[in-house]
Amino acid sequence: MKVILTEDVQRLGAKGEVVTVKDGYGRNYLIPQGKALQATSNNLVKLKDKARLEEAKEKRDKRAAEEFAQRLAGVSCSVRVQAEESDKLYGAVHERDIASALEEQGMEVDPHNIILEEPIKLLGVYPVKIHLFRDVEAEIKVWVIRE
């Protein structure tokens, strides 16, 4: 049986490939799970149309991420925290704190997209990367200051 893979299947093939599988594997597993479609000319056309739409959506999303990255370039935010006299923080500054500080400036960023190697535990200025899309990142400055 020939099937068109609708997603990557380990040890079988990549999305969009036409592969030959045993009838039972295709009929009982791949097709019901939505991992493949029967290889008909009609399904090939549908898959190509779907791939074209997904590609256009991805281009739109990447363009929007690049525009947002340009808006974020040069942005700095301040996070006020309590600290000891030795500039050591009583707590730590995490991704959620940085996202809140950016939100106060009108920039909405998902905390999961903020890349910190480890929580910030000292006062100072830190460069922080924000992952916006595949191959699109922005860097901001975070000022950790005493409250």
Give just the sign of the alpha carbon dihedral 22, 23, 29, 31. Answer: positive
Confidence grade of residue 123 (pLDDT, cut at 50, 70, 90): very high
Confidence grade of residue 21 (pLDDT, cut at 50, 70, 90): very high
Containing domain of residue 42, as a range?
2-60
- Tell me: the pLDDT tens digits for 98-113? 999 999 999 999 999 9
From 77, 83, 68, select the one nearest 95 (Cα to Cα).
77
If asked whether residues 81 and 138 sit together in one domain, one would say yes
How many structural domains are present in the chain? 2
- Which pLDDT score is estimated for 47? 83
Is the pLDDT score of 44 beyond 90? no
- Tell me: the pLDDT tens digits for 126-135? 999 999 998 8
- Which pLDDT score is estimated for 147? 85
Is the pLDDT score of 82 beyond 90? yes
Q: What is d(CA 48, CA 23) in angstroms, rounded to the nearest whole number?
A: 24
If asked whether residues 97 and 31 sit together in one domain, one would say no
- Which pLDDT score is estimated for 127? 94
If asked whether residues 137 and 107 sit together in one domain, one would say yes
Name the pairing type of β-strands 124-133 and 36-38: unpaired
If asked whether residues 75 and 111 sit together in one domain, one would say yes
Q: List, in sequence order, the alpha helices (H) in 19-131.
A: 23-25, 41-72, 95-104
From 93, 131, 94, select the one nearest 109 (Cα to Cα).
131
If asked whether residues 119 and 89 sit together in one domain, one would say yes
Beta bridge partners of 144: 79, 124
* 87 contacts 100 by C-beta, under 8 angstroms: no
* pTM of structure: 0.71
